[in-house]
Amino acid sequence: METNIEEEEGRPAEYFKGYVTHVIENGDTFWKLAGKYQTTAENIMRANPGVNPWNLQVGTVLNVPYDRPLVPGDVLYSSVLNEYLIEGLTVRYPFLESGSIGKSVMGKEILYLKIGNGKKQVFYNASFHANENITTPVLLKFAEEYARAYAQGGYLYGTYAPQLYEDYTLYLVPMVNPDGVDLVNGFLRGGTYYGQAVDIAARYPNIPFPSGWKANIDGIDLNLQYPAGWENAREIKYAQGYTTPAPRDYVGEAPLTAPESRAVYEFTLAHDFSLILAYHTQGEVIYWKYLDYNPQDSYAIARYFGDVSGYDVEETPSASGYAGYKDWFIMTYDRPGYTIEAGRGVSPLPMSQFDKIYEDNKRILLGGMTQI
């Protein structure tokens, strides 16, 4: 992979993964190891559910998590960091499941996290748009907070986490567009795909490069790829001048031609989601509608989200009212689907906004389960 977080941040991969491995030697105990690695015996037990602390076997490899929160809110995200954090979370909390829903244009895995065993399935995704990647840690941090609350048998923002876990299955795809995120944040700085992006951007000189890039690495806007009024979207975006691959707003030659959009589409078809949240920036606004569809409880849930976040609740403006993921979800299932435009300013929003964005959105993220 082109990205090298070790160079970018001057820290080893273990720092971001948040754990080291230890091979058990004669005389080791979880309590001694906790002292050696400055963590707790509880953390080690939790990360190694198959190991009996009273009967350690020499040669067994243990995962030893550090005793600190994992998901940072103060670094630029990359596909590699997303991968490290998902690995780190599943090591700390082995009841989490992770995997891939498909590959990006450049062959990077589009990763998911799954939390819970409940009958009701919900799905949240982020970073469909490359320069809106502050939304990735919003989902990752929520996963971490939820997993910690569940592991401790405690409460997540007032809701008893073990009950949540039994009632709902939450799927998260924190980075739908890994190639685009790497481009925007400077983790892709050479090679064929970088050159292609430079050429595409040169045809749209009014869009800053790479900070104005929303599309996938082929210049297709992943949130204008869904078979829900796609022809209308094409007409609108062509009229605005986006007639070829572009940093944003190019709909592609046909629906679902971009592998990232198709992966989310197929992942959705393979499940039975009662509700979806699609995280974007910016504007502090919640869009809940597609055309005249009015799924049961959809507006009431939107109002609830507005109340707990302080965000406005609006109908989608018609110029961007077609071919988005939430549009297709609402049209296909007649169930609640929302685009959340987090934060305020010009994308990419600075990471200094992360704490506020997380605080504003954590009860939306919880409510996506409890309100359905």
Active site positions, annotated: 322, 341
Among 280, 326, 362, 363, binds Zn ion (CB under 5 A): 280
Contact (Cβ atoms closer than 8 angstroms) between residue 38 and residue 67: yes
CB of 151 vs Zn ion, minimal distance in Å? 33
For 66, the 3-state DSSP assignment is: coil
If the CB atoms of residues 92 and 129 are measured against Zn ion, the closer one turns out to be 129
CA dihedral 53, 58, 60, 66 (to 10 degrees): 60
Q: Per CB under 5 A, which region of 122-130, 174-182, 264-272, 364-372 contacts Zn ion?
A: 122-130
For 102, the 3-state DSSP assignment is: strand
Q: Per CB under 5 A, which region of 25-33, 95-103, 130-138, 168-176 contacts Zn ion?
A: 130-138
CB of 217 vs Zn ion, minimal distance in Å? 16
248 forms part of the interface with Zn ion (CB under 5 A): no
State the Cα–Cα distance between residues 70 and 85, nearest whole angstrom. Answer: 7
If the CB atoms of residues 129 and 289 are measured against Zn ion, the closer one turns out to be 129
CB of 333 vs Zn ion, minimal distance in Å? 21
Q: Per CB under 5 A, which region of 87-95, 111-119, 232-240, 272-280 contacts Zn ion?
A: 272-280
If the CB atoms of residues 234 and 280 are measured against Zn ion, the closer one turns out to be 280
Residue numbers 135-154 binding Zn ion by CB under 5 A? none
If the CB atoms of residues 268 and 347 are measured against Zn ion, the closer one turns out to be 347
CB of 248 vs Zn ion, minimal distance in Å? 9
Contact (Cβ atoms closer than 8 angstroms) between residue 297 and residue 325: no
State the Cα–Cα distance between residues 144 and 361, nearest whole angstrom. Answer: 15
For 172, the 3-state DSSP assignment is: strand
State the Cα–Cα distance between residues 357 and 240, nearest whole angstrom. Answer: 31
If the CB atoms of residues 96 and 349 are measured against Zn ion, the closer one turns out to be 349
234 forms part of the interface with Zn ion (CB under 5 A): no
Neighbour order of strands in the sheet with 168-173: 97-103, 109-115, 168-173, 120-126, 273-281, 337-342, 285-287, 312-314
- Nearest residue (beta carbon) to Zn ion: 280
CB of 285 vs Zn ion, minimal distance in Å? 12
129 forms part of the interface with Zn ion (CB under 5 A): yes
State the Cα–Cα distance between residues 367 and 372, nearest whole angstrom. Answer: 8
If the CB atoms of residues 279 and 358 are measured against Zn ion, the closer one turns out to be 279
Q: Per CB under 5 A, which region of 202-210, 246-254, 275-283, 350-358 contacts Zn ion?
A: 275-283
Region label for 283, one of left (φ > 0), alpha (ψ between -120 and 50) or beta (otherwise): left
State the Cα–Cα distance between residues 288 and 276, nearest whole angstrom. Answer: 10
Q: Pinpoint the alpha helices (H) of 185-269.
A: 191-202, 230-239, 259-269
DSSP bridge partners of 46: none
CB of 130 vs Zn ion, minimal distance in Å? 9
Contact (Cβ atoms closer than 8 angstroms) between residue 114 and residue 170: yes
Q: Per CB under 5 A, which region of 38-46, 68-76, 259-267, 280-288 contacts Zn ion?
A: 280-288
Give the footprint of Zn ion on this chain (CB under 5 A). 129, 132, 280
